[in-house]
Structure 1
Amino acid sequence: MLNDATDALAPLLPLGVLREIGPAYLEEPRGRYKGRAGLVAAPRTVEEVAAVVRACANAGVPIVPRGGGTGLVGGQVMSDGTMPLLLSLERMTAIRAVYPEEGVIVAEAGATLHQVRDAAAKVGRQFPLALASGGTAQLGGVLATNAGGVNVLRYGNARALCLGVEAVLPQGQVMHDLKRLRKDNTGYDIRDLLIGAEGTLGIITAASLVLAPVPAEIGVAMLVVESPEAALTLLSLAQARMAGGVTAFELISGEGLRFLDAAFPDLRQPFADCPDWLVLIEVGLPSGLSADAALEGLFTDAAEAGLVHDGVIARSGQQAADLWAIRETIPEANRHIGAIASHDISLPLSEIARFIRDCSAVLAGMADLRINCFGHLGDGNLHFNLFPVQGKTRDAYDGVRRALSRAVHEMVVARGGSFSAEHGVGRLKAAELAEWGDPARLAAMRAIKDALDPAGIMNPGVILG
Structure 2
Amino acid sequence: MADQHNVVAEHRLSLQERLGSDMVLTEASEMLRYCRDWHGDVTSAAVAVLRPRSTAEVAAAVTACRVLGLSIVPQGGNTGLVLGGIPDAPERQVILSLERLNRIRTIDADDFSAVVEAGCILSELKDAIADKGMFFPLALGAQGSCRIGGNVSTNAGGINVLRYGMTRELVLGLEVVLADGTIFEGLSTLRKDNRGIDLKQLFIGAEGTLGIITAVSIKLTPYPDHVATALLALASLDDAITLYRRARRDCCDLMSAFEFMPPLAFDLAREAMPDLPIPIAGDYPAYVLMEISGSGLIDVNDLMERFLEGVMTDGLVVDGTIASSQAQARSLWLIREGMNEGQAKRGSHMRSDVSVPLSKLASFVSDAEAAISQALPDCISVSYGHVGDGNVHLNVLPPTDLLGEARDQVIYKAKTVLNEVVDLYQGSISAEHGIGRLKRADFESRLPDTRRKLLAAVKHAVDPHLLFNPGCQLNLNGIS
Indicate conservation of the 8 Å contact 1:33/1:79, yes or no. no
Number of the residue aligned with 1:378: 388
Number of the residue aligned with 2:326: 317
Matches within 5 A, 1:256-267: 256-267=265-276
Indicate conservation of the 8 Å contact 2:152/2:205, yes or no. yes
Partner SS for 2:430: coil
CA spacing shift, 1:38–1:396, aligned 2, 3 Å: closer
CA spacing shift, 1:193–1:110, aligned 2, 3 Å: same
1:12 partnered with 2:22: no
Q: Pick the aligned partner of 2:353 from 344, 353, 377.
A: 344
Partner SS for 1:416: coil
Q: Pick the aligned partner of 2:416 from 397, 402, 406.
A: 406
1:141 partnered with 2:150: yes
In structure 2, distance between residues paired with 1:33 and 1:389: 21
Number of the residue aligned with 2:478: none
Post-superposition CA distance 1:204-245 (Å, at most 9, x none): 000000111122421000000111111111111111111211
Indicate conservation of the 8 Å contact 2:24/2:48, yes or no. yes
Q: How many residues align?
A: 465
1:407 Cα deviation from its structure 2 partner = 1.4
CA spacing shift, 1:83–1:390, aligned 2, 3 Å: closer
Number of the residue aligned with 2:209: 200
Matches within 5 A, 1:432-451: 432-451=442-461
Number of the residue aligned with 1:454: 464
Number of the residue aligned with 2:101: 92
Q: Pick the aligned partner of 2:307 from 284, 298, 317.
A: 298
Partner SS for 1:247: strand
Number of the residue aligned with 1:191: 200
Indicate conservation of the 8 Å contact 1:7/1:38, yes or no. no
CA spacing shift, 1:118–1:263, aligned 2, 3 Å: closer
CA spacing shift, 1:74–1:399, aligned 2, 3 Å: closer
Indicate conservation of the 8 Å contact 2:268/2:338, yes or no. no
Q: Pick the aligned partner of 1:83 from 92, 112, 116.
A: 92
Question: TM-score by structure 1 length?
Answer: 0.96
Post-superposition CA distance 1:153-191 (Å, at most 9, x none): 111111110000001011111111100011112222221
In structure 1, distance between residues paired with 2:401 and 2:466: 47
Partner SS for 2:125: helix
Indicate conservation of the 8 Å contact 2:263/2:282, yes or no. no
Number of the residue aligned with 1:251: 260
Partner SS for 2:256: strand
Partner SS for 2:123: helix
Partner SS for 1:399: helix
Indicate conservation of the 8 Å contact 1:344/1:384, yes or no. yes
Number of the residue aligned with 2:435: 425
Indicate conservation of the 8 Å contact 2:116/2:215, yes or no. yes
Number of the residue aligned with 1:74: 83
**Unaligned runs of at least 5 residues, structure 2:** 476-480
Matched letter for residue 16 of structure 1 = D
CA spacing shift, 1:391–1:309, aligned 2, 3 Å: farther
Matched letter for residue 18 of structure 1 = V
CA spacing shift, 1:355–1:92, aligned 2, 3 Å: same
Indicate conservation of the 8 Å contact 2:379/2:396, yes or no. yes
Number of the residue aligned with 1:102: 111
Indicate conservation of the 8 Å contact 1:112/1:135, yes or no. yes
CA spacing shift, 1:26–1:392, aligned 2, 3 Å: closer
Matches within 5 A, 1:17-32: 17-21=23-27, 22=30, 23-32=32-41
Number of the residue aligned with 2:177: 168
Partner SS for 2:382: strand
1:14 Cα deviation from its structure 2 partner = 5.0
Matched letter for residue 286 of structure 2 = W
Number of the residue aligned with 1:287: 296
Question: TM-score by structure 2 length?
Answer: 0.93
In structure 1, distance between residues paired with 2:127 and 2:294: 21
**Unaligned runs of at least 5 residues, structure 1:** none
In structure 2, distance between residues paired with 1:119 and 1:289: 24
CA spacing shift, 1:103–1:175, aligned 2, 3 Å: same
1:322 Cα deviation from its structure 2 partner = 1.0
Indicate conservation of the 8 Å contact 2:87/2:94, yes or no. no
In structure 1, distance between residues paired with 2:219 and 2:340: 28
Matched letter for residue 214 of structure 2 = T
1:448 Cα deviation from its structure 2 partner = 0.6
In structure 2, distance between residues paired with 1:347 and 1:291: 30
Indicate conservation of the 8 Å contact 1:163/1:181, yes or no. yes
In structure 2, distance between residues paired with 1:106 and 1:53: 23
In structure 2, distance between residues paired with 1:15 and 1:176: 28
